[in-house]
Amino acid sequence: MRNLRFPRLLAYAVAFYAVLQLLAVTGVFNGYIMHIVNQSLIYVILVVSLNLINGISGQFSLGHMGFAAVGAYVSGTLTTIIWKLAPDNPAAIVLFIAAVIVGGAAAALVGVLIGFPSLRLKGDYLAIVTLGFGEIIRTMLNNIDYVGGPRGLLGIPKFSNFTVIFIAAFLTIVVVRNLVQSSHGRAMLSIRENELAAELVGVNSTKYKVLAFAIGAFFAGIAGALLAHLIQIAHPTQYGFMGSVLVLIMVYAGGVGSITGSVIAAFGLTFLSEGLRIVIDSLAAATGLPIGGEWRMVVYALLLIFIMLFRTEGLMGNKELKIMVIEERKA
């Protein structure tokens, strides 16, 4: 019993949560900053789960937002129906969490269905298949009238809040971290390093690739569900190719295979994109130059190019911070 310690990651997470919650309650962080924090946390889920597929298992997926769309639409449809039947239901938050998990499960199911046929492909070919999958999802949503078609799914109740999103992000990190450091994760890493060699030592590569795909899709679905309940609308155009590319950029900017890097990149790039808004506005006000919001994306893209030029391996490379590593128990 002496050796039973409070896990390090949990301790940091609780501290992080407490500080942010305190800043929010005292009003130091206004609703705007908390909104960006919430968005960053949703991106943490997306980036870490894509990193499991792209970085850890070495399968190049370009359809991550397609899974998020499945989660968003399934959970959004469920909660809107429940909301209509019984508004102000005291059990609403429980039903919401159930709906989010169902959304994630639906995305995982789709991930398995897509995974079996397409994971026989490698590299570029897999990228094209997943890209196609993402577009199929988007087009399907555009054509299903029940979920609003091109109008989008409207009237989703606002259930997502900082606490729920934070817990979801924390669980994603823990699950992916523990998975990577288990024998299953080692098998995934071996497939990334050399699939033929992995097969020769008895790793069932199809099984592990599909497993990585399903788990990644599950968390992407959760992220989509949380996003839909944060901004109260789900629209097909949100889940297109560009959305998937943004998540992919975060994976690469953070470092392929590094969970720490994914978390840093998700927070860093989300805050950068918003911070530039304020920087450019105040720059325009101070100098009187005719620069407006449209320059924000130019600077953002330039900064990304510089990250990739000077740190090709991403911010963290494939290293992890110490808090991400499971500590060895002494006997």
Among 252, 296, 315, 320, binds other proteins (CB under 8 A): 296
Shortest Å distance, C-beta 31 to other proteins:
4
Choose one: 95-103, 261-269, 287-295, 315-323; the region binding other proteins (CB under 8 A). Answer: 287-295
Q: Count of CB atoms within 10 A of residue 22's CB? A: 11
Among 152, 185, 261, 268, binds other proteins (CB under 8 A): 152
Shortest Å distance, C-beta 187 to other proteins:
36
Largest CA distance in the chain: 67
Q: Count of CB atoms within 10 A of residue 168's CB? A: 24
Shortest Å distance, C-beta 20 to other proteins:
16
Shortest Å distance, C-beta 277 to other proteins:
7
Among 227, 265, 315, 316, binds other proteins (CB under 8 A): 227
DSSP state, residue 327: P
Among 84, 122, 277, 311, binds other proteins (CB under 8 A): 277
Scan residues 181-210 and list those touching other proteins (CB under 8 A). none
CA–CA distance, 52 with 22 (Å, rounded to integer): 32
The answer to whether the CB of 245 falls within 8 A of the CB of 62 is yes
- DSSP code string of 38-68: HHHHHHHHHHHHHHIIIIIS------HHHHH
Among 135, 195, 281, 313, binds other proteins (CB under 8 A): 281
Determine if 66 is a binding residue for other proteins (CB under 8 A): no
Determine if 36 is a binding residue for other proteins (CB under 8 A): yes
Q: What length does the chain have? A: 331
Q: How many helices (H) and strands (E) does the chain have?
A: 12, 0
Determine if 6 is a binding residue for other proteins (CB under 8 A): no
The interface mask with other proteins, positions 231-270, x = CB under 8 A, is xxx-x-xx--------------------------------
Shortest Å distance, C-beta 281 to other proteins:
8
Q: Is 30 helix (H, G, I), strand (E, B) or coil?
A: coil
Neighbouring residues of 229: CB distance < 8 A, sequence distance ≥ 6: 75, 76, 79, 96, 100, 156, 157, 158, 159, 160
Neighbouring residues of 322: CB distance < 8 A, sequence distance ≥ 6: 8
Q: Which two tokens stand for residue 205?
A: 């590569």
Q: CB-wise, 143 or 182, nearer to other proteins? A: 143
Among 93, 150, 279, 325, binds other proteins (CB under 8 A): 150
Q: Which residues bind other proteins (CB under 8 A)?
A: 26-28, 30-33, 35-36, 39, 139, 142-143, 149-152, 154-155, 158, 227, 230-233, 235, 237-238, 274, 277, 281, 292-294, 296-297
